Structure formats: C-alpha cells, structure tokens
Amino acid sequence: MADDKEDPAVFTSTSLPSDPRLLATVTNAYLGTRVYRDILHINGVYNGAVGDTHRADVPSPVNVRMTVPGAESLAETFTLNTRTGTFSHVLQSTDYTATHQIYAHHSLVHLMAFSITIRRSAHTTQPVTVQLHTPFVPKSQDLDLNQGPDFQGAHYVYGKTLVPEVEGGPRPTVHMLWTPVPQALTLCGEERERSWEFLTAVAESEEEVKRSYGEGVALMAAGSLHSSHTCAWARLWRGCCIDLDGPLPLRQALYGCLYYLLSAIPPQGNVNPGFLFHGISPGGLSNGTRGEDYWGHVFWDQDTWMFPNILLFYPEAARAILEYRIRTLEGALRNAQEQGYKGAKFPWESAATGREVCPEDIYGAQEIHVTGDVLMAFEQYYCTTQDQKLFREDGGWELVGAVAQYWCSRMVWSEEEQCYHIKGVMPPDEHHHQVDNSVYTNAMAQRSLNFAADIARDFLIPVPEEWVDCAKKVKVPFDAEKKYHPEYDGYSPGEPVKQADVVLLGFPLMHPMSPEVRRNDLEMYEPVTELDGPAMTWSMFAVGWLELKEVQRAQSQLNKCFSNITEPFKIWVENSDGSGAVNFLTGMGGFLQAVLFGYTGFRITKASLRFDPAIPDDVNLVKVAGVSYFGNKLKFTITKGEIRIKVTESPQDSPASPLEAVLEASGQRFPLRGGQSVSFPTAAGWIQRSPTETR
C-alpha cells in the first residue's frame, strides 16, 4: 500500500537462522513441517496415552537440501513468499540459477511437494549438476511402519500409531507415498532449463493416499501442480486483507501473522471429501513432537486468540474449528463426570478425543475458563452468521446446553454474600491457583449462561430457570472503592501477573463497565504484568487503550510484541527471551486482533458488527477487506478523517438481507448495496441488517 519498494509479504535472507526452530514452516490444514526438518506432522494424529500423547512423528521425504559441489562465488538466498505459500532456496552463479521450492499444497491437503529447477543464464554448454542431500529414513518412534509395494513409481509405507490416547481408543493408520529422491540432478549441455518435481502424499487410508498421489501426478503431468497451489493461495488472499499505509515492520508482521494462521485453516470449498479438521495448536502443525510446543495439543489459544480473526474472514473455516469441539463433546462430558460435575468440561489440553491430556493435573483440574472460551467462539460465530443448522442439526445446541449445565454445577451458593461462587480455580494468570472467584472465569461463566439462554429463546426452547438464576447471581469481583476488578477474591494490588487476565474483561468479553473502570483495570495491571510473558498479552492492553482513544499508549504496548518476532521469517516465540512455544500462533492471533479489532474498533454483538476506529499517528490508512457478516463480504477503508465501506459480495441464496451502516451519534443510516460504496466522517457506528428486511 505504501510506496515501499520492499514487498511486505516476501521475507528474504542470504542465510538461515542458527536456531532451527526459527526456520520457516510450510503447512496446510492436514500436513505440516519446518523446512529442512526430518519429520512432518498430521492434523489429529497423535501417539501416546493421555498426558503422554503428542503429535506422531512421520519421517519427511521433503527434507532435502540442494548444493552445487565445487562451485565458487555462488549467491545464495532463502525466501518465504507468503503470497504463494512457498519457500525457495536459490543458488545463482554467472552461468546458471538453481531454485529449490518447497510447499504444502493448500487445497489438496494430503500433498506436500518440492521442485528443483536449473536454468542457464549464459551461452555455456557445460552440464550443471546439483546435489540433493536427504537424511530420510522411513522409520518413526511413533508409528509401526511397514513397507508396501511401489505405486506409480512412488515408494509406499504404512503403519499404525503405537499407543492410543485412551484405553481402547483409536490408533490411526498413516499411509505415505513419495517420489524417490536421487542424489544428484543434471541439466545436460543441450538443455536451457529443466524442472524436476517430487511429490509426497499422506493420508489415513490406502485408498485416499493413492487417490491423492494420483491427483498430484496428473497435475505434475499437466505442469500445474505448483500453480494450482499458488492459485489456492491467491484465492485465499483475495478473500481477506489487513494492510495499512504505515511502517514496513508493522506491515510485514501483519502479513507474517496472516500467512502462518491461514496456513493452518481448512481450504475453501469441499475439495477434500471426508476430511475432518482437528483444530489448531499453539505452535501449529510444524511442531508438536514429544516435549515440544505443548506436544501439539489444542488449548484456549485456538478459541480465544486465533478464532476471531479466522471468523471475520472465513466463517467456513471457523465452523470447522467449532465442529472439532462438537466431535470431542463426549470427552468433555467424561471430564466433568470424573471431576464430580454435570455437563461438559472441555480439557485444558485437547488432542483426538476431548479427554484431558495435560501432563500436569493442576491445569486440567483448575484452569476451567477454557470451557467458557470454547462457548464464546460459538457465540461469536452465531452472531456473525446466524447459522442455525450448526446448532439445530449438527450438535451445537447439545454442546451449548452441556456447557451451561457444567457452569451451574460448578457454582456454590454463598449465604454470606448472597451470590454464587466458583471456587478453587486457576485464572489465565497461571502464577495463581486454587483461588476463588477468578473475575475472568466468573464473567466467562456468566456470558456462557446468557448465551445459552439467548439461543434457547431463539429456538423456542424453554430456558432452565437455573441458567438465568446462576447468570444473574454469580459473583464478578469488583472493588467499588478503587473502581477496578480484582483478579480474584483476596488479590492485592501490585501482585505480579503472568499474562493478560483482567484486561480481557473489556475485550474480548465486552463485560459491561464504564470507561473509568476500563482505564483503572489497564493502569492497575499493566505495570505488574511480566514484561517477558506470553506474546499475546500486550496486544490486549493495546486494544484496551485504543478503546479509550489513547492511541500512542496503545502503540507502545503493541510495539512490545516485536521482541517476540524473529528474523528472517517472522516466526514468533512465545516469550521474548526465546523460551516457550515456537511459531506461536497464539501471539500472532493476538497481534492480528489488535489491528483487526483494535484499529477498527470492530466488536461482534448480538445485533450488529460495531466499529469505532482509533488509528496511531504513524498509520495513515487501514484497509480491511473480506470481512464476513451474514454472508456478505465487506471492505473497510479507514483514515483518521473518513470511513469507506463497500459490499464486495452478497449472499446468492438470501438476497433479501441487505445491510446498512448506522452512525452512533446521529443515527444516520447508509444502505449497503452490493458493489456500491458509502463513506462518512470517521466515527463510531455499526453494521446491521436493514430493519425493513429482518424477519
């Protein structure tokens, strides 16, 4: 957008980071690896029992390094192109260029591939040979691999995981076909240019792996394997955009965050029949082996930190995340039962079954806010899509009711205070445990119960009186004298806090409070929150200050995130000292929310999508395209002086649901019609269905 010559979406370096954890990742919704790593992972395929369960390591045939022996004065570059979802290694001399490209096919999720291209750049006829170094051995510590017969020139192995997550549980079988990799490739004297392509297919059935490999081979024969992948990425980027006229590092960070998050979501359209999505872990599919990046488990990180960004652009992918939670509801019901409660308690760490798989019991027993976090994602989805089918037919209502039942059973009545308490919990601030009435946990329980009651009314289902009573009477700690929210009963101002906790009441919970209280919460907790704590923390402080129109104070908080972004491929680390999860999608999700919900002021409510922009001094313009709302796609162009909104797509099946923009101060209405733009001076307002057209 700005006139920078450097493309903010392309990250190039002449060397690789010394820490291999910081190498670029190539993933899709099903397969993932770090470049030059000897293993890859499969979404939803774990090995090990309960607390030992981790992503099953699959040997990676795409772990290949290209060299030219004996060559002098070679220019070498490594590039991650987030626009095409492709990692490239280029060796260039005066006589030739050798290019190695690696990618996980975005739309055909069972495929990974790499190619080698040698092209002459001078009138020489000497053969050019590149060597390919691969440590690949078809063995795994997590799979009982057997060799099968070759298929269409590909080698074949298959095998089950060794240990099920729960006794008697499934042990998925992994099937893999791959093109054999030679030790060297040569461009002969009479050839100007030649490419070689190498394909890997992975699936959980012999039929699917052979079908996928055959499809890849057909695309290779047509010369369109890589182009079909880049076209899928082009469609993905056309459907969503967050860009701005502002500092290059900020733009690069946004593109990096979007690339890594979009890499993890299911492709648009049903191009992979039978494919079930198994959620997103904090470190993504490239990580999660035993002892690494929380072993590939799914946390609240998915539902609270990543989900809102995905929802606003790709509600179909957001639905797949919710379907994962619905499929694991049985495990959540068992979790609650084992702890002596009714309803469903979602695990702090989830893998294949929904049973608690956290290696340390204290988190699974006490960090119960995750159950409300899951339901808030369902609420946000319902408010932006009105997809009643998910709830009426596909299991959503059963989940909502089970969560409400859990919260009611988890509360105890206090005669002394005449309200309900939730005792013995760990709040998001994990420095404290066994506390009573965590303000975040209790406010989340209240929100869960209110949503459950709302959706019951929408479906004309009788609302249990217990839900209403518990929501109305649960204690949400508040200090009326100091006018702030204590983190829990007995919290003393000044006590150190690990990460964003109370500040989450303002966003994303949108718990009712005055601007004065919102400010007091921010000022109370900002100085006592660990500076090198988890990366998503400062994004939420930034959103809070943007709400209060303290834009420079917000920017100073957001700038703290840059210490978690590593070069050259914009991989995030969980903690600024380099510890914790790597390729930390949670931090990226928080950062994206700071712009997508902070700069714009977007808020998802029951009746509308609100906006109230606040833009920092060094940002002149913010463009957000592809915002999904009730099946429409909206493009927002925001400056400090003007908001322009355009409906770029309207739902074909429901043309009688036009939208309008309403300004808060004046009540002025602007009809939003397909293909047309409206503009008005920058101010607070909202998008809603036109009242004349509502049911």
pLDDT of residue 274: 79
Q: What is the pLDDT of residues 438-478, one digit of tens each?
A: 999 999 999 999 999 999 999 999 999 999 999 999 999 99
pLDDT of residue 122: 76
Residues whose CB falls within 8 Å of the CB of residue 48, separated by 6 or more in sequence, listed in order: 54, 142, 163, 165, 290
Q: What is the pLDDT of residues 364-388, one digit of tens each?
A: 999 999 999 999 999 999 999 999 9
Whole-number mean pLDDT of the chain?
Answer: 95
pLDDT of residue 351: 97
C-alpha to C-alpha distance for 141 and 212, rounded to whole angstroms = 25
Residues whose CB falls within 8 Å of the CB of residue 393, separated by 6 or more in sequence, listed in order: none
Q: Is 54 helix (H, G, I), strand (E, B) or coil?
A: strand
C-beta of residue 218 within 8 angstroms of C-beta of residue 550: no
C-beta of residue 544 within 8 angstroms of C-beta of residue 522: yes
245 forms beta bridges with 621
Q: What is the pLDDT of residues 40-80, one digit of tens each?
A: 999 999 999 999 999 999 999 999 999 998 877 899 999 99
pLDDT of residue 3: 47
Counting residues of the chain whose pLDDT is more than 90, the rounded percentage is: 92
Residues whose CB falls within 8 Å of the CB of residue 215, separated by 6 or more in sequence, listed in order: 108, 111
Q: What is the pLDDT of residues 13-48, one digit of tens each?
A: 999 999 999 999 999 999 999 999 999 999 999 999
Cis amide leading into 508 (omega within 30): yes
* pLDDT score of 422 more than 70: yes
- The token pair at 445 is 């329980």
Tokens 């059973």 identify what position?
409
Residue 426 vs residues 49, 418, 432: alpha-carbon distances, Å: 25, 23, 6
Beta strands in 379-490 (DSSP E): 412-414, 419-421
pLDDT of residue 1: 57
Counting residues of the chain whose pLDDT is more than 70, the rounded percentage is: 98
C-beta of residue 20 within 8 angstroms of C-beta of residue 34: yes
Cis amide leading into 170 (omega within 30): no
* pLDDT score of 599 more than 90: yes
Amino acid at position 138, single letter: P
- Supply the residues annotated as catalytic: 430
* Buried b or exposed e, range 224-240, using 16+ CB within 10 angstroms: ebbebbbebbeebbebb
